[in-house]
Structure 1
Amino acid sequence: MAELVWTIAGSDSGGGAGVQADVKAMHSFGVQTCTAITALTAQNSLAVEEINAVSSEVLESQLLALEADLKAAVIKIGMLANSTQIQLVAEHLAQYKSRWDNPPVIVFDPVAIASSGDVLTEEDTLDALKKYLLPLVDVITPNTQETQVLTGVYLIGPDAVREAARKLREFGVKSVIIKGGHWDYPSGYCIDYCWSEGEEYWLGNEAIQTPHSHGTGCSFASSVAACLAKGYPIKDAFILAKAYINQGLKLAQRFGEGRGPLAHCGFPENISDFPQVIEPGSWLGDELEFAVSEEFNFAAGFAPIGEELGLYAVVDSVDWVEKCLAEGVKTVQLRIKQADHATLEEDIQCAITLGEKYQGRVFINDHWELSIRHGAYGVHLGQEDLDSANLVAIQQAGLRLGVSTHGFYEMLRAHNYRPSYLAFGAIYPTTTKDMSGQIQGLEKLRHFVPLMRETYPTVAIGGIDLTRAPQVAATGVGSVAVVRAITEAADYKQAIIDLKRATGES
């Protein structure tokens, strides 16, 4: 069953913004869209001639009809033409949140400023927004001008952006995305900010110079709504929406004599359209004055591998390392999670020696200090380890680095460090590790692989067994990692043969 999203917004007779843009953007991400029209605008590429608000009766009839048969996972709010509409919509949203078995996520894009220039500056409209609507909003997506009108904070630097986000949360909004298309700080760059559940995310890319940008705000919020409806975490919705806008700006063209609309080109599949995840120590991080504990050479990256990894065995003992290497598995990871494991250093040293003996690639999970000490081929780290491990020491020691990623944001964050390979997971639920909320599935894997396949060896991991391996391999991923499929097999030697065959490894 397709994910269902409503858009409650104005209609753009010129076709570039409003519900027209919403539907195009949402369909690009594969979700079904329902509409409730708040206003009929008379506009073209040159100007908005009129905004004709629909009556409360007409708006309410649309909402009642949709609720009766087509309940939404996410509701995106665009232009609300007056304070009466704001109160009416807020009343319905409050009912949905209290009555529905699965309350909808509310995404609000305060587009009225961009559309007419004066609607949200009316005091009664601002008051109605803050009193009735914002306490119900899960995600708000204002641009810099809208942020300043709503909060009174002039966005002159990163701290001001954080302060504006804090003020928006004080109105009751749960998560804040502030779009930086009009910020121009640093000069020539577009910086976007997201705050959600105590975490902040910064994205940046060179500003795309085009006059044809009509509908970007509507399309951005609709992309976020679509991704949330598909179950993506907000940090993934944030980065995908930005990539979608970048893609559309590059391909936008003029229709008529004025400003052309954003192009709607489907799910973003080109890595050049994705923004950079801004990290401390990166050039953009330095421009934003992010604190740096240790300088890291992002440009140098880590030692390359030079080929795909093939069948990848993840095991928890030296005995299994040798069994897999002896049967021709060329890539093995020793994953010992117990910090107090009595023979940890000895086991790591032995695994490294076995890799040399069988001319295999042995990666050590987590224990990077011991890996450096004993000259491991490589080390594998999770996302949280990127903050705590000494990446400079790993880089200088010449070790290969593999990084786990769970979604688009983490994939692009890992890409900053130019690792030796990227692992995507968990593809399926697994009993070996709690991956609640991080199951990627084949659909996401099909999107991950084209983005990174030309840059890194790619690995799929998580819940993969012999029956699932052919489907995973069919996505084009370079390597399939297995845990229980070998170590819990009745005949592990035959399991290795069957898995190699299933994944196309000769």
Structure 2
Amino acid sequence: MQTRPVVWTIAGSDSGGGAGIQADLLTFHDLGVHGCSAITANTAQNTLTVAAINPLPESALQSQLDALLSDLPPLAIKIGLLANTAQVHIVADFLRGLRAQGCQVPVVYDPVAVASSGASMTEGSTGAAVVSELLPLCDVLTPNRVELEWLASAEVDSAGDILIAAKKLAGANEIALAVTGGHFDIEPGTTADLLCVPGETGITSDWLIGRKIDTRDTHGTGCTYSSAVAAILAQGYPLKDACVVANAYVRRGLRLGNSSQIGEGPGPVGHCGWPNELQDFPEVLVAGSERAKHYATFDAAAAENYAAEFVQPDTTRLGLYPVVETVEWIEKLAREGVRTLQLRIKNPGDDLREQIERAVAIGRKFDLRLFINDYWQLAIECGAYGVHLGQEDLQAADLQAIQRAGLKLGISTHGFFEMLYAWQYRPSYLATGAIYATNTKDMSGQLQGPRKLARMATLLPDYPLVAIGGINVERAPDVAASGVGSIAVVTAITQAPDYQAAVTQLRAVIE
């Protein structure tokens, strides 16, 4: 029985072992997928130069693709070096055939055009064929600055240029772009990737910023990044999560890799396992921050409400965290010794203020960590302990007013990307979900599961983290084992046959 996802690389072979299919297969293995390869060219290269590029005949490439498909169908495909227009046609026809058969797998294309040594890797007419035939069949494009210029037919000299060129390509081809930033400096001492993703409301753009790592062992970073994105997508991660984890994977390889004895030129980037330290993950730029001015994304309106560094709670482990809809439940659970609670009123009436005032009074009486969901203005006016906001609320809420009032702030997140984005605000706690499917709302596209939750928890081991979504008494032990210090529940208590027994059992697990 197959236990690991199958991922293909359609790319060139690097005789020096640092890039191409060699880097792809190392990455696939490192990230827990089974790698298959269809070789497009045998390159004669080492750490100093690319001496020759020897494209395989069309029949040789086609036979590899056919053999793999008959026995090892992919869950994701990474495409690297396509040495000539004939190879572009073969791969494009193959992808069209997959779609015709109903095989919808993510395709990640790393448009290898120029080696880091400066050597051209493709024939001159290949770019036009890529744009017209291949890009519309791909899901993610991962160019560096040189490759972005090649495909966009435009010079890219600034953050604004990168945004314009990337959005142009993304919009014209309905493809996501992850422009890697190792070839340019927007701020001294940093690198910045640009992530552009088409959606129903247009193209979203996010800068992923990291500290520049002082190393000469950078060979194969582009191949490694794109194959990491494919490997993570094959494991069911959403696109933005796959891109930030892949970014961290490469940065971890740059930081920990040791290739000083391999060749006389730039050695290969390290392949050092799943990234599990926050220092390797990028900063997701917030448009309201001063730093956004360097990246052509500053939003003056967002800056008026932007704030960071909120008051921390009295503990990093908030324990059992029931989310309830009525004030009556607040008092019942407070009497059971529950200290962390959230009042989430879905259908407010004319007595909304009165309910929040009553809840706040109960919170003071029992010394509760009581968070009010969404209604931050009333939470401030009523002197609440804290407020909880969703990602979409961050754009509308006056965070400076919440901070001035001394309220604690909790933020909902759904995966690595949103967690890193919310972390820029330094809230009082971060909640992540849905861990399991839930009856309260459809979260089918954002299920985390205990394994992904544990990977996120390792990044912030001493920070208040809350797991939420579909958690009950039976599932709670697996969630607690992830390392989070708090479990939020909704129906596991309010719809339990014996809510007092449910509270006792859940507290025993988390505490």
- Structure 1 unaligned runs (5+)? none
Partner of 2:474: 467
**SS of residue in 2 equivalent to 1:193:** strand
Whether the 8 Å CA contact 1:305–1:420 is kept in 2: the answer is: no
From the superposition, tell whether residues 297 and 85 of structure 1 become closer, same or farther in structure 2 (CA, over 3 Å).
closer
Judged with a 3 Å threshold, the aligned counterparts in structure 2 of structure 1 residues 299 and 348 are, in CA distance, closer, same or farther, namely closer
Return the alpha-carbon distance in structure 2 between the equivalents of residues 70 and 349 of structure 1.
Answer: 61
Please list, as runs of the form range in 1=range in 2, the aligned pairs for 1:476-487 lying within 5 A after superposition: 476-487=483-494
Q: Displacement of 1:120 after TM fit?
A: 6.0
- Report how far residue 114 of structure 1 moved: 2.0
Q: Give the match for residue 447 of structure 1.
A: 455
Map 1:22-101 → 2, pairs under 5 A: 22-99=24-101, 101=102
Could you say if the C-alpha distance between residues 173 and 15 of structure 1 is closer, same or farther in structure 2, counting changes exceeding 3 Å? farther
* Partner residue, 1:132: 133
> Is 2:320 aligned against 1:315?
no
Contact 2:170 2:196 in 1 (8 A): no
Matched position secondary structure for 1:80: coil
Deviation at 1:119, TM superposition (A): 4.0
TM-score (norm 1): 0.95
- Bigger mean CA offset, 283-292 vs 180-189: 283-292
Matched, 1:155 2:164: no
Query: Structure 2 CA distance, aligned partners of 1:380 and 1:169?
Result: 34
1:2-21 map, 5 Å? 2-21=4-23
Instruction: Judge conservation of contact 1:249–1:263 (CA < 8 Å) in 2.
Output: yes
1:197-231 deviations in Å (ceiling 9; x for gaps): 22211111222221110000001101111121122
Cα pair distance change 1:354/1:209, threshold 3 Å: same
| Aligned counterparts of 1:41 and 1:121: Cα–Cα separation in 2 | 12
After superposition, give the CA deviation of every residue in 1:56-113 in whole Å (9 maximum; x if it has no partner): 12111110011111111211100111111111111111111111x3322211001231
- CA distance in 2 between partners of 1:284 and 1:27 (Å): 37
Equivalent in the alignment of 1:278: 285
CA offsets per residue over residues 252-290 of structure 1, 9 Å max, x none? 332122211111111110001111101123343132241
Pair 492,334 (structure 1): closer, same or farther in 2 beyond 3 Å:
same
Other structure's SS at 1:481 match? strand
Q: Tell me if the contact between 2:257 and 2:272 (Cα under 8 Å) persists in the aligned partners.
A: no
RMSD, aligned α-carbons: 1.7
Residue 75 of structure 1 contacts residue 105 of structure 1 at CA under 8 Å; is this kept in 2? yes
SS in 1 for 2:445: coil
Return the alpha-carbon distance in structure 1 between the equivalents of residues 308 and 167 of structure 2. 34
Q: Tell me the equivalent position of 1:266.
A: 273
Which range moved further: 355-364 or 167-176? 167-176
169-178 vs 415-424, greater mean Cα deviation: 169-178
Q: CA deviation at 1:346?
A: 0.8
Deviation at 1:300, TM superposition (A): 3.4
Query: How big is the shift at 1:172?
Result: 2.3
Q: Which amino acid aligns with 1:461?
A: I
Give % identity: 50
- 1:121–1:149 CA contact under 8 A, matched in 2: no
Q: 2:415 aligns with which of 407, 416, 420?
A: 407
Deviates more, 1:70-79 or 1:117-126: 117-126
Aligned to 1:328: 337
Assess if the C-alpha contact under 8 Å between 1:139 and 1:173 holds in 2.
no
Aligned partner of residue 173 in structure 2, secondary structure: coil
1:172 aligns with 2:177: no
Deviation by residue 1:171-216 (Cα, 9 ceiling, x = unmatched):
5251111111112112332111111122211111222221110000
The change in CA–CA distance for 1:299 and 1:392 in structure 2 (over 3 A counts) is closer
Structure 1 residue corresponding to 2:383, chosen from 368, 371, 375: 375
Q: Distance in 2 between matches of 1:173 and 1:484?
A: 40
Q: How far apart in 1 are the matches of 2:431 and 2:153?
A: 44
Once residues 82 and 108 of structure 2 are traced to their aligned partners in structure 1, the CA distance between those partners, rounded to angstroms, is 13
In structure 1, what is the Cα distance between the partners aligned to 2:120 and 2:408?
56
Equivalent position SS for 1:423? strand
Moved more, 110-119 or 323-332: 110-119
Distance 1:299 1:341, change over 3 A: closer
Q: Does 1:211 align with 2:213?
A: no
> What amino acid maps onto 1:335 in structure 2?
R
Aligned to 1:286, the other structure's residue is in SS state helix
User: Is the Cα contact below 8 Å between 1:252 and 1:260 reproduced in 2?
Assistant: no
- Worse overlay, 456-465 or 28-37: 28-37
Match of 1:376, SS state, is: coil
Aligned partner of 2:160: which letter?
D
- Tell me the residue number matched to 1:113: 114
Q: Which moved more, 1:164-173 or 1:362-371?
A: 164-173
How far, CA to CA, are the matches of 2:272 and 2:228 in structure 1? 12
Within a 5 Å distance, the mapping from 1:336-351 to structure 2 comes to 336-338=345-347, 340-351=348-359
Letter of the structure 1 residue corresponding to residue 398 of structure 2: N
Post-superposition shift, 1:298? 5.1
Is the Cα–Cα contact under 8 Å of residues 86 and 128 in structure 1 kept in the other structure? yes
Please give the secondary structure, in 2, of the residue aligned with 1:452.
coil
Once the two structures are superposed, residues 413-469 of structure 1 have per-residue CA deviations (whole angstroms, 9 ceiling, x without a partner) of 111011111111000000012213011111110101111122x21111100000001
Instruction: Find the residue that maps to 1:231 and give its secondary structure.
Output: coil
Give the counterpart letter for 1:308 in structure 2: R
Name the SS for the 2:459 alignment partner: helix
Match for residue 394 of structure 1 among 402, 405, 427:
402
> Mean alpha-carbon deviation: is it higher for 237-246 or for 366-375?
237-246
Indicate the SS of the match to 1:8: strand
Q: Which amino acid aligns with 1:457?
A: P
Offset, 1:299: 5.5
TM-score (norm 2): 0.94
Could you give the per-residue CA deviations for residues 329-383 of structure 1, whole angstroms, max 9, x where no partner exists?
Answer: 1111000122x42321111111111111111211111110000001111111111
8 Å contact 2:48–2:117 — kept in the other structure? no
> Counterpart amino acid of 1:446?
A
Amino acid at match of 2:191: C
Q: Are the counterparts in 2 of residues 180 and 193 from structure 1 also a CA contact under 8 Å?
A: yes
Describe the shift of the 1:298–1:19 C-alpha distance in structure 2 as closer, same or farther (beyond 3 A): farther
1: CA distance, partners of 2:103 / 2:314: 46
Cα-to-partner distance string for 1:24-81 (whole Å, 9 max, x where unaligned):
2222222221111111122222222222221112111110011111111211100111
Question: For residue 417 of structure 1, what is the aligned residue in structure 2?
Answer: 425
Contact 2:31 2:232 (C-alpha < 8 Å) held by counterparts: yes
Shift of 1:116: 7.2
Gaps of 5+ in 2: none
Give the Cα separation in 1 of the matches to 2:310 and 2:406. 10
Selected match of 1:364 from 357, 361, 372: 372
